[in-house]
Structure 1
């Protein structure tokens, strides 16, 4: 199945030949790439990358690989940078009596563990979220193209919010499988004093005590936390970018400089991040409690926390996730600019749909 998907991605007309020339593959020319971009004003989709000034062809294997690399950088760097805040947030969630607030959490941690204590869990955070970023961003681009091919480009535009939601949910499903083992080690290091101080210590101990289940026991609540978060992250970001260019930015996206476009990216990312934090916070609290306590289930952890406990640590998480999401989108988009990758605009109406609506009198000329 995957091999047929790869071959379909390359079903494009050869260079310097008419559009009627038969492509060198069994599938018709309107394959994975062509169905997404046909009729749109995206140079990278209709001409060779070298002639368009881009480093790769849109929706090619190189394009998807670079998207994955951008995801590694955006998630790995940002999550590692906020480890101190994440540590305090996790401790507030699992022990609100001892860690009463963000400020108090920092004070108690510094008093007991010193400045180095604030960096606990940085290694599993870096490796875990780098793996997650690879799958999250890379597979999002893959599934967005694949689902567009399945429903057609006109439906993909009309129902683009659902497209963003479904593509991001599918990508995050796989991303969490990559993240779960490292997330288990991170939370254990941060919330169980004396258990382990490093990743090398934590993994053998978790395996010795709980077996392979110790790395994946929180996968379901992780899905409950991350899938809604990622759906909001991508769908809200895509639509916010579209709305900012339509109602806030005083000129079309094509007339904006790269730096101006990146400012819009950061703003849209922060707005999306605030909503992400609120939607996913209860499940995040359950994940923290579950990984702290051996043998507990998600339902037992939720009952023990109670409704009020599920929302503990929301303020630092809004600050953390808002900043994280904004920086992730900024790094991801900046990476695309630096690598000279195609960046198709969000919400671009297909030419075929525009002509249909004009013919029906539903669109102004």
Structure 2
């Protein structure tokens, strides 16, 4: 029996970091749009234009160091764990979709815990708080490491797990809907030809792009409510319980607020998902060529 190909645990984190470098300005715009309260809805371009006019073009890459730290903790663990669990489940043949979905959600939870400190720093440095709060209440982190040190100094080790409940929920939803659905779409498209045009995809760049774009659409829709709620909690000038923020927003804006910023979220997450999986698949291909089983 041929030996199964294995890959480094950290490979997914590298692919996710490469994708984050490309889509960071879109991530910043999405977060800023989600923190705008009220019924008026500024456009994506107005948010970008305001950012550039007030702080220059470099402001679109505010918080990139925290974003990369998050990818090398959160995404590294969630992608690496999923591949490890999937390998175990596949010993006796291809596992059913339900088992892979559960594996993706468990891996997402592990990644959510590992990436929580970097996730909180990333939201702060993306100006979720700095863009909304008055100057005297802003964080002013210069980079991810200094922000991490300051967070521990000011709040202690418990500060590393600030917002863990909301972030963990989002991580489970994200990995289940993004990684789980990508695996499902990829497997389905390999087994069945595309309808109408009757074209059979092969395991190549086109397949990875189509499957990841579909996965990005599913992930954006599933994660939108938790994403908006997390951004609202971070932008608040005082500590609030998630349920209180949810009730207040529903009362003032209606249920549509749960999907506020869906378009910029998809514009960011769609390309990010495509790039992440394309980079990840190419890294796997390169590793397999360099270090065959």
TM-score by length of 1: 0.68
What residue in structure 1 maps to residue 193 of structure 2? 247
Do 2:201 and 2:207's aligned partners in 1 also have CA atoms closer than 8 Å? no
What residue in structure 2 maps to residue 91 of structure 1? 32
Do 1:237 and 1:268's aligned partners in 2 also have CA atoms closer than 8 Å? yes
* 5+ residue gaps, structure 1: 1-45, 49-56, 254-259, 344-365
SS at match of 1:196: coil
What residue in structure 2 maps to residue 311 of structure 1? 259
78-87 vs 261-270, which deviates more?
78-87
From 103, 109, 129, the counterpart of 1:192: 129
What residue in structure 2 maps to residue 178 of structure 1? 114
Distance 1:108 1:99 in 2: 14
1:311: how far off? Answer: 1.7
Q: How much is the aligned-residue C-alpha RMSD, in angstroms?
A: 2.4
281-290 vs 299-308, which deviates more?
299-308
Do 1:96 and 1:312's aligned partners in 2 also have CA atoms closer than 8 Å? no
1:205: how far off? Answer: 4.0
192-201 vs 282-291, which deviates more?
192-201
What residue in structure 2 maps to residue 286 of structure 1? 229
From 22, 37, 56, the counterpart of 1:81: 22
Going from structure 1 to structure 2, the CA distance change for 1:164 and 1:144 (only over 3 Å counts) comes to same
1:110: how far off? Answer: 1.2
Distance 1:99 1:141 in 2: 40
What residue in structure 2 maps to residue 330 of structure 1? 278
Structure 1 residue 141 corresponds to structure 2 residue 83: yes
What residue in structure 2 maps to residue 276 of structure 1? 219
Greater RCO between the two (CA within 8 Å, min separation 6)?
A: 2
316-325 vs 185-194, which deviates more?
185-194
Distance 1:79 1:300 in 2: 32
1:197: how far off? Answer: 4.0
TM-score by length of 2: 0.84
Going from structure 1 to structure 2, the CA distance change for 1:247 and 1:145 (only over 3 Å counts) comes to same
Distance 1:222 1:134 in 2: 16
Do 1:290 and 1:301's aligned partners in 2 also have CA atoms closer than 8 Å? yes
